[in-house]
Amino acid sequence: MRSYFIRILSIVLFAIVMVSCANRGSPSGGEVDSEPPEIIREIPENFSTNFSAEEIRIYFNEYVKIKDLRKQLIISPPMDNEPVIVPLGGASDYISIKIKDTLQPNTTYAFNFGESIVDNNEGNPYPYYRYVFSTGDTIDSLSVQGYVEDALLDEPDTFVSVMLYEVDSTYTDSIVYKEKPRYITNTLDSVTTFSIDNIKAGTYKLVALKDKNGNYKFNQKDDKIGFKKGFITVPTDSVYPLTLFNEEVNFKAIKPKQDGASKIIFPYEGDYESMRIKVLGDTPEDYQTRIVKDPETDTLYYWYKPKFEIDTTFFLVSNGKYVDTFKHRFRKLEEDSLVMSAVSSRSLDFDKDFTIEGNIPLIKIDKSKINIIDKDSAAIDFEVEYDSIYNRYKLPINKVEGQKYNIQMLPETFWDFYGGTNKDTLSFVALTKMKSEYGNIRVNLRNATLPLVVQLVNDKGEVLYERYAKDTPVVDFTDLEPRRYNLRVIFDSNGNGKYDTGNYLLGIQPERVSYAPKDKVDEVRASFDFVIDFTLLE
C-alpha cells in the first residue's frame, strides 16, 4: 500500500513539474511572416509571344488575395471589355485573368498589378508585378520616363494616369476626350515618377490625367490634365516633366428654376462675369431686375419686379459666343422678408472689415442710423462700401488693438429692392486682438523677376494671405495668425495680378509656381518677426 501511494505521489509531482514548465512562457507561434508571396508558375508564361489564350493563371507558393484592384491594376493598352480577375474578396493559391476583349493584332499588352497582390496571412505585397504578352512575334521593349508635378500644390495627386496616344492619320488633339490611349501607366500612391514600358517605336502625344471617373478620357469639369507640348518620338532618352492643372471650365448655363415669389436661380458652369440673362418676349410694365451671386456655389439669383401675369416665359442666357434659351414656368411661392446677417466673425482681423449682407438685393443704406462705439463709449468714424455682386455692405474703420466695437443699426437702416426694410434694431460686437498676439513675416525674393504673386497657404494649397510684388522684391506679411504656413510664388507672366491656369486644346501651360523649401518657413509664433530669404530658380 505504501509503495502504491508513493507511485501516486510521484505521478502528481511529475504533473506539477510539467505544468510549471509549461507556464513559464506562452508559445510565440513562430516569427511573423514578412516575406512576399512567390510566383511558382505562369500559364501561359510571362512575356509570351503569339498569345491567343483566353485565360491567364499565375500560381503562388501560398494563398494570396487581391486588394484595391480598381486603383492598382493598369492594363496597357486599355481594354474596352474589362477582364474577369479572381479571387476577389477571398483567397487562392492562384490568380485567374479571363480575357473578355478582342485583342489587337501585333500588340504588346501589359497587366500592371502595382501592389495589389498580397499574401493571405500578413498582407505582404508582391511588389509591382507585371504580366506581359504579345499577340505578335515580338515583345515591344521601349519605354518613356518622366515625373508628375502639380501646378498649384506642393505635392501632386496620387494615382495619376500617364498616357501615350499614337500620332497617326486618325490623330486629333480632341482624342483625349473621346478615346482611350494606346499605352498607359500610373504613378500609384507613393511616387511621382512614371515609366511607360513595352511600347513600340513611333510618334506619340504624352498626357497625364488625374482621372476621377477612371475611364481614361478627359472630363474638363472633374479631371486635372498635364501634357508635353508637341509630340515625342520613341525611342528617347529624355525624362519628361508633366504639370497637372485644372482648366477653367467652359461656360455652360443650366436650366433655371423658381426659388422664391420673385426670385429665379440660374446655375452655371465656368466663368459667370460675362454672363447675361434676358427675357424673350413681353415683360410687365416698369420691369426691373437685380442679379446677385451665391458666395459658395456657381449660381446667380435673378430678382425681378413686378411679377409676370403669364404662366411661362423664355430666358436667353449668353456668355460671349455662348447662347442658350430656356423655357421657364412660374410658380407661386411665399414672399421673402428682408433678413440682415453679419458675414464677419466676432473676432475681427486687422486686414478685414465688418461686413453685413441681406437675403434680398439692397438698394439703400441710411448711414445716420448706424452707430459704432468702442469700449470707452467713444463714437468711431466709419465708411460705407457696397458690393453689388454679393449684396454686402462693408464698414471700414481705423481699427485699434485690444478694442471692442459695439455696432448698432436702427430700424430702417437698410432698404431692399422691393421696398422692405429692417424693422428691428440690429446689434453686433466686433473684437480686435492685441498686436502681440500676431506674428509677422518679411520675404526677401532673391533672383526675382517681377511681378510676382506671393502667397501664404495651408497644406491643402488654400490661400490664407496674399501680396503682389510689382515694384520691389521685398514683401511683408503683418498681423498673421500663429500657425504653420507654406510659402509659394506665382510667376505672373502676363502681369494681371493673379494665377492663370493652362488649356490643353490651346496648348497653354499654367503659370509657373514655386514653393519655398519647408525648412525655410518656421512656424509663425505670436509677437515674433520672421525673415525668409527665398531664392527663385531660373
Please state, in angstroms and rounded to a whole number, the distance separating the CA atoms of residues 168 and 182. 11
Q: Report the CATH superfamily, name and number, of domain 437-535.
A: Carboxypeptidase-like, regulatory domain (2.60.40.1120)
Which residues are within 8 A (CB) of 158 and not within 5 positions of it... i.e. 6 or more apart? Answer: 187, 188, 189, 190
Closest of 316, 303, 279, 425 to residue 361, by C-alpha: 303
pTM listed for this prediction = 0.84
Domain range list for the chain: 39-134, 142-244, 252-329, 340-433, 437-535
Q: Which amino acid is at 448?
A: A
Q: Which grid cell is 495?
A: 502681369
Architecture of domain 142-244: Sandwich (2.60)
The single-letter code of the amino acid at 108 is T
Contact 66, 87 (CB under 8 A): yes
Measure the N-to-C terminal CA separation of the chain; round to a whole number of Å: 104
β-partners of residue 147 are: 193, 241
Instruction: In whole angstroms, give the CA distance from residue 165 to residue 204.
Output: 5
State whether residue 13 is helix, strand or coil.
helix
Question: Residue 177: which H helix or E strand, with range?
Answer: helix 175-178
Query: What CATH topology corresponds to 39-134?
Result: Immunoglobulin-like (2.60.40)
Residues in the chain: 538
Q: How far is CA 92 from the centre of its chain?
A: 38
pLDDT of residue 538: 75
Cα dist from 295 to 40, 269, 391, 455, 466, whole Å: 61, 14, 10, 22, 20
Q: What is the pLDDT along the chain (538 residues), one digit of tens a residue?
A: 444 444 544 544 444 444 444 444 444 455 666 788 999 999 999 999 999 999 999 999 999 999 988 888 999 999 999 999 999 888 999 999 999 999 999 999 999 998 899 999 888 999 889 999 999 999 999 999 999 999 999 999 998 999 999 999 999 999 999 999 999 998 877 779 999 999 999 999 999 999 988 889 999 999 999 999 999 999 999 999 999 999 999 999 999 999 999 999 999 999 999 999 999 999 999 999 999 999 999 999 999 999 999 999 999 999 999 999 999 999 999 999 999 999 988 999 999 999 999 999 999 999 999 999 999 999 999 999 999 999 999 999 999 999 999 999 999 999 999 999 999 999 999 999 999 999 999 999 999 999 999 999 999 999 999 999 999 999 999 999 999 999 999 999 999 999 999 999 999 999 999 999 988 888 999 999 999 999 998 7
- Are residues 196 and 141 in contact, defined by beta-carbon separation less than 8 angstroms? no
Is the fold of 39-134 the same as that of 437-535? yes
- CATH superfamily label, 252-329: Immunoglobulins (2.60.40.10)
pLDDT of residue 532: 96
**340-433 domain in CATH 2.60.40.3780?**
yes
- DSSP of 398-452: ---TT-EEEEEE-TTSEEETTS-B--S-EEEEEE---GGGSEEEEEEEET--S-E
Q: In what order do the strands lie in the sheet with 529-535?
A: 474-480, 439-446, 529-535
For residue 216, is it left (φ>0), alpha (ψ between -120 and 50) or beta? left
